[in-house]
Amino acid sequence: MLFDCAEGTQRQLMRSSVGLPDLEEIFISHYHADHYLGLPGMLKTFALRGRDLPITIYGPRGLADLFGSLRRVFGKLTYPYELVELQPGDVLDRGEYRIVTYKVDHGVPALGPVRAASSVDAR
């Protein structure tokens, strides 16, 4: 999973020992450009590599509107994606841990950073 996708994220991942993994989830904390401008390029690179695994992209209210605009940039993708708009207090249970969103006063709808806690601690 990836939290925010700034411009240059793809390049830095490819330069690292991690490489560009077939991410299953991307979380966008808010819609200031420096937190999502790397997303269209990364999504398109996945498509050019022939990805067919689905991906889920999470973000605060407005994610569907953002993707309506970004679709003109990344075009048709070779894999399914799901957009999930989160609200403060939403909990995503991942078995060994839970992701809990909380409101951030940042001038735009913001949930970030999303924090992760062990499911034992979060109960």
pLDDT at 29 over 50: yes
Angle (CA) 62-54-75 rounded to 5° is: 60
Spatial distance between the Cα atoms of 91 and 8, rounded to a whole number of angstroms: 29
The total number of structural domains that make up the chain: 1
**6 touches 115 (CB < 8 A):** no
Mean pLDDT of 26-51: 93
Structure tokens at 84: 């999930």
98 by DSSP, 3-state: which? strand
Which residue in 4, 22, 34, 52 is the catalytic one?
34
Q: Which domain holds residue 105?
A: 2-122
Spatial distance between the Cα atoms of 29 and 58, rounded to a whole number of angstroms: 8
Spatial distance between the Cα atoms of 92 and 1, rounded to a whole number of angstroms: 13
**Residue 85 amino acid letter:** E
Q: Is 34 a catalytic residue?
A: yes
- The CATH number of whichever domain residue 37 belongs to comes to 3.60.15.10
The predicted-structure confidence for 63-105, as pLDDT tens digits, reads as follows 999 999 998 888 999 999 999 999 998 999 988 888 988 888 7
Give the sign of the dihedral formed by CA 26, CA 28, CA 34, CA 37: positive
Q: What is the pTM of this model?
A: 0.84
Task: Tell me what pLDDT residue 50 has.
Answer: 94
